[in-house]
């Protein structure tokens, strides 16, 4: 696209999601890249990171890296999440949304209820729909993520009906807090291999009570959450659902099954569905090396035919492909994650006919590897990523001067195929 070309009109037309109108079809996908304070409140870096993307021209920010319940906060598998589980966090969240709104950008809060079999060890028991754990194989990892052998997660206990009810109530209250904190909408996180997602597929849910068996029963927890949120926030407040489109595993659920779940939830008051792909057993689908796999493989078409609400398509990098997705009616907006780490000005550059100036994501996924290893998120092509709040010329904090060399060494080791092969050959306990 020449620098003086007109921007792709279809990407820069407004889109109404219930009572909220976003200025264009480029949405920042939720990411756990916020560097919040240790107590779960937004830091100055959190606000600076979000504001850089708001100034960069995205039509909507969906805030990721959040926890809706105390359980979720304490068992979160990633380091550093924003808390929505208590009223005392509302004022700081409001300061954050005010800062984003100053740039004219709406912001929705994704709400994570619990992490199921992906939960880290904590005082809370690991629970899921049914007692099924995950086995993550090295050949299913995305580019740049290496492992010498299979990784099995802890075996969860089947959640009781009382635990399900408690998580439902607390997630609804988190949505109410989000509205009070100035968020323009909320999104229920039911993707990957987290607690809510464990109810959706017969492969991970073999309950015999009202939460298992039929599509209606497997959708029940999401239907209840969305219905109760709608009762509390009113008719005009946007509510979304993030859901996997396809498990991509033997015996797993495909797009028809997930779309049937989404149909039931839509009737409870959904305004949009955001599609992801795969789960933690198929991370190469979730963090794809190609653009918009749910469009390429046909899942988006199945959801488009099943739903009447707005459809957001994830896994997008290139603007030409994004334009084609919208023009062809595969989805109503596209969600970008890694590309907005690489270039916060992505949307403005496309809008202004400066596509050649966009700094592309290299898809090496060092950002993901750092997150998995509990390190602050950084980007190999954007040295400002994770440092947006730092004043030009300012020295890094002392703790970063100490930790950064150690992190570089760990990244070099964990990214070395040779070292991983050596580790693979070492005798393992129990072998």
DSSP labels, 376-428: PP-BTTBTTTT-TTSPTTPPPPHHHHHHHHHHHHHHHHHT-HHHHHHHHHS--
Rounded CA-CA distance 97/139 in Å is 40
Whole-number pLDDT of residue 429: 65
Compute, in degrees rounded to 10, the torsion defined by CA atoms 366, 370, 376, 382: 0
What is the per-residue pLDDT across 162-187, written as a single tens digit (0 to 9) for each?
999 999 999 999 999 999 999 999 99
Its pTM stands at 0.95
For every residue of 89-134, DSSP letters joined together read GHHHHHHHHHHHHTTT--EEEEE----GGGPPS-SSPPEESSS---
* Closest C-alpha to 409, from 395, 419, 399: 419
Q: Could you tell me if 276 and 243 are in contact, meaning their C-beta atoms sit under 8 angstroms apart?
A: yes
Residue 113 backbone phi and psi in degrees, to 5: -80, -40
Q: Residue 85 pLDDT > 70, yes or no?
A: yes
Tell me the per-residue pLDDT of 353-385, one tens digit each, with 9 for 90 and over: 999 999 999 999 999 999 989 899 999 999 999
Q: φ and ψ at 142, to 5 degrees?
A: -75, 170
Q: What's the rounded Cα separation, in Å, for the pair 269 and 241?
A: 10
Q: What is the pLDDT of residue 399?
A: 86
pLDDT at 322 over 60: yes
Cβ atoms of 363 and 290 within 8 Å: the answer is no
Half-sphere exposure of 271 (CA within 13 A, CB side): 21
Residue 1 has pLDDT above 80, yes or no: no
Output the six-digit token pair for 86: 């208590």
Q: Would you state the structure tokens that stand for residue 209, as one six-digit string?
A: 């009570």
Which tokens belong to 254?
Answer: 């495909």
pLDDT of residue 427: 77
When pLDDT is cut at 50, 70 and 90, the band that residue 430 belongs to is: low
Return the HEC string of 328-377: CCCCCEEEECHHHHHCCCHHHHHHCCCHHHCCCCCCCCHHHHHHHCCCCC
Q: How large is the greatest C-alpha to C-alpha distance in the chain, in angstroms? A: 64
More confident position, 150 or 428: 150
**Exposed / middle / buried, residue 29 (Cβ in 10 Å: 0-12, 13-18, 19+):** buried
- Mean pLDDT across the stretch 87-100? 98
Q: How far apart are CA 164 and CA 212, in angstroms?
A: 13
Report how far residue 315's alpha carbon sits from residue 331's, in angstroms, rounded to the nearest whole number.
Answer: 12
């Amino acid at each position: 696209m020449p620098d003086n070309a007109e921007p792709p009109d279809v990407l820069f037309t407004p889109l109404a999601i219930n009572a909220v109108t976003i200025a264009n079809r480029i949405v920042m996908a939720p990411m756990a890249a916020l560097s919040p304070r240790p107590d779960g409140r937004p830091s100055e870096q959190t606000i600076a990171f979000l504001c850089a993307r708001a100034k960069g021209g995205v039509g909507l920010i969906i805030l990721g890296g959040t926890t809706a319940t105390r359980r979720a906060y304490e068992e979160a598998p990633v380091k550093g999440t924003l808390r929505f589980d208590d009223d005392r966090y509302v004022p700081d969240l409001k300061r954050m949304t005010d800062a984003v709104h100053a740039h004219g950008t709406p912001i929705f809060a994704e709400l994570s209820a619990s992490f199921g079999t992906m939960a880290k060890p904590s005082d809370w028991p690991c629970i899921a729909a049914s007692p099924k754990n995950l086995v993550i194989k090295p050949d299913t990892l995305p580019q740049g993520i290496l492992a010498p052998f299979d990784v099995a997660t802890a075996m969860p206990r089947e959640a009781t009906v009382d635990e399900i009810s408690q998580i439902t109530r607390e997630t609804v209250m988190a949505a109410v807090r989000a509205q009070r904190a100035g968020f323009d909408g909320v999104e229920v996180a039911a993707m990957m291999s987290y607690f809510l997602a464990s109810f959706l597929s017969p492969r991970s849910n073999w309950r015999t009570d009202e939460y298992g068996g039929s599509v209606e029963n497997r959708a029940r927890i999401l239907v209840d959450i969305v219905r109760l949120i709608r009762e509390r926030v009113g008719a005009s407040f946007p509510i979304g659902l993030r859901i996997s489109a396809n498990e991509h595993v033997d015996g797993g659920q495909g797009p028809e099954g997930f779309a049937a779940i989404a149909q039931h939830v839509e009737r409870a008051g959904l305004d949009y569905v955001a599609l992801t792909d795969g789960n933690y057993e198929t991370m190469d689908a979730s963090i794809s090396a190609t653009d918009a796999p749910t469009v390429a493989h046909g899942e988006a078409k199945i959801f488009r035919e099943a739903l009447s609400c707005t459809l957001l398509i994830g896994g997008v990098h290139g603007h030409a492909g994004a334009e084609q997705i919208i023009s062809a009616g595969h989805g109503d907006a596209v969600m970008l994650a890694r590309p907005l780490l690489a270039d916060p000005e992505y949307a403005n550059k496309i809008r202004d006919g400066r596509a050649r100036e966009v700094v592309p994501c290299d898809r090496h996924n060092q950002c993901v590897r750092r997150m998995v290893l509990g390190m602050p998120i950084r980007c190999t092509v954007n040295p400002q990523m994770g440092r947006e709040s730092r004043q030009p010329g300012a020295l890094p904090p002392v703790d970063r001067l100490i930790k950064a060399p150690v992190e570089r060494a760990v990244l070099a080791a964990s990214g070395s195929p040779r070292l991983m092969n050596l580790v693979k050959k070492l005798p393992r306990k129990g072998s």
